Structure 1
């Protein structure tokens, strides 16, 4: 197994190739980007931010880290790793981007499962707190603060793009993937966290219809489902689940209070894995 950072980055200001210097990254036009103490680089220009501190907050990242470290989404991570490592020939190296990497859980689990496969890996998130947390735990990958709307990656340079419960940008994913490259999108299934949602919402929305057609530039290869039950056996784990999801902000005050008062909750984890190939 060889795990290395994906280093073919482009300047977010002019799309020129970036070169590594001893303090950061620089393009031929002189735009420079410092590498942080944790080892990540911020390639999100101020003019591309929609808010002062975009993406998940520091408390959301901390809650998600504790929740994922407890193994509650381990089944999803294992299914994702199997699908990625089955792509292409076993002797071929894979360049992998997690677009919306959060605190890096799924890339770390992929690296752990890689066996003899060679991987060059890039984790990108719009949240500086997420990328800072990811870089602090594993420096084998390249970690970047950036946006899915303008990925700082050259055309046709990636074999795999992951979009885990995130914000897909199909045109950008098609641009950066090689022909035949894999786009693996993971979405919440109809019953995902249903037990929590029944507590915090007066009524549940009808499930979204299953995707019928591929995104432009792609063909759907497989659609798989992961489903298992988990038990949250402490007040703290239930709070972490609530804080790490958008449900915290969508729920009513009454619904949040009900969830926060619990000390035990059985939940359903259900995800759909949609594998598409770049045409």
Structure 2
């Protein structure tokens, strides 16, 4: 069976969780590989198995080459302890990954926690990469979608995962069911510090202050539980180059820094996992 048909069959069983991102009405049916809402707006499932829920493509700074590098180092285990911890924190079986990137993280979580997963990102190249691998999973549906207009009904989901990605807290609160939870992963000051020191040895970018992002989260969810994850990850020269290419931290790097990156033998992962119950 083709990927598009597999996802069509899966989404048919989950149609009551989705809503049309254009008119916010219910989807009435899936005919073949086409989702149609009660007002006639239709969305085709691609051959690779994703659904494009935007009015038009949005250009982002993440190129396909960068995303491939990101996929490589994530699949090598850069965030494995974090993903393993998230899989133990999930409460239910209707889970959104908001800002899923190229999909490696939610696929890893899905292998450890059986559930229905709905992952989306505004980047079409990221979603194309997410559905292109051999690790295709029937119960992980990937969408190209807008964080400000998520194609999900109100108060239907048990968990939202938001890993090192922008957030829309009003939308998150809208789609989470009572008792549901948001799991957000945010960087701490030492996150990728060896790479930062290589790229920005001095100046304003030489350090990172996590307080504004974390304070904003706590304003929204003052009763959250915060867990710290701090460890180092060993790098080969090849993985060091992938790390350099995957992160916005290096977008303004000099050619010299790019040449020196293979000297990095390990990298610090310093993150906060914030758990907020709705």
TM range (shorter): 0.7 to 0.9
2:22 maps to 1:13: yes
Deviation at 1:79, TM superposition (A): 1.3
CA distance in 2, matches of 1:217, 1:74: 28
| Partner residue in 1 for 2:125 | 129
The number of residues matched between the two structures is: 258
- Taking the TM superposition and a 5 Å limit, the aligned residue runs for 1:191-230 are 191-203=190-202, 204-209=206-211, 211-212=214-215, 214=217, 218-230=221-233
Alignment map for 1:78-93 (pairs within 5 Å): 78-84=84-90, 87=91, 93=92
Shift of 1:62: 0.6
SS at match of 1:130: helix
Assess if the C-alpha contact under 8 Å between 1:171 and 1:216 holds in 2: no
Q: Structure 1: state its 5+ residue gaps.
A: 88-92
Q: CA–CA distance in 2 between the matches of 1:253 and 1:55? A: 19
Q: Deviations over 1:191-214 (max 9, x none)?
A: 111001100013213422273575
Cα 1:57–1:142 shift into 2, 3 Å: same
Counterparts of residues 1-279 of structure 1 (less than 5 Å): 6-7=14-15, 8-18=17-27, 19-46=29-56, 51=58, 53-54=59-60, 56-84=62-90, 87=91, 93-114=92-113, 118-136=114-132, 137-140=135-138, 141-203=140-202, 204-209=206-211, 211-212=214-215, 214=217, 218-234=221-237, 236-259=238-261, 262-278=262-278
2 CA distance for matches of 1:252 and 1:110? 35
RMSD between aligned alpha carbons?
Answer: 2.1
Contact 1:186 1:272 in 2 (8 A): yes
CA deviation after TM superposition for structure 1 residue 72, in Å: 1.8
From the superposition, tell whether residues 139 and 245 of structure 1 become closer, same or farther in structure 2 (CA, over 3 Å). same
| TM-score for the superposition, normalised by structure 1 | 0.85
* TM-score, normalised via structure 2 length: 0.85
Q: Structure 2 regions of 5+ residues with no counterpart?
A: 1-9
Give the whole-Å Cα distance in 2 for the aligned partners of 1:54 and 1:23: 27
Query: Deviations 1:122-179 (Å, cap 9, x if unpaired)?
Result: 0101111211222233232111000111111011111101110000110111111112
Aligned-partner Cα distance in 2 for 1:184–1:135? 24
SS of structure 2 residue aligned to 1:124: strand
- What do the CA deviations read for 1:198-253 (whole angstroms, capped 9, x no partner)? 0001321342227357556644331001111111122x211110111102313344
- The whole-number CA distance in structure 1 between the counterparts of 2:120 and 2:216 is 27
Shift of 1:187: 0.8
- After superposition, what is the alpha-carbon deviation per residue over 1:21-74, rounded to whole angstroms, capped at 9, x for unaligned? 21221111111111111111000112xx6x4x3362211211011111111211
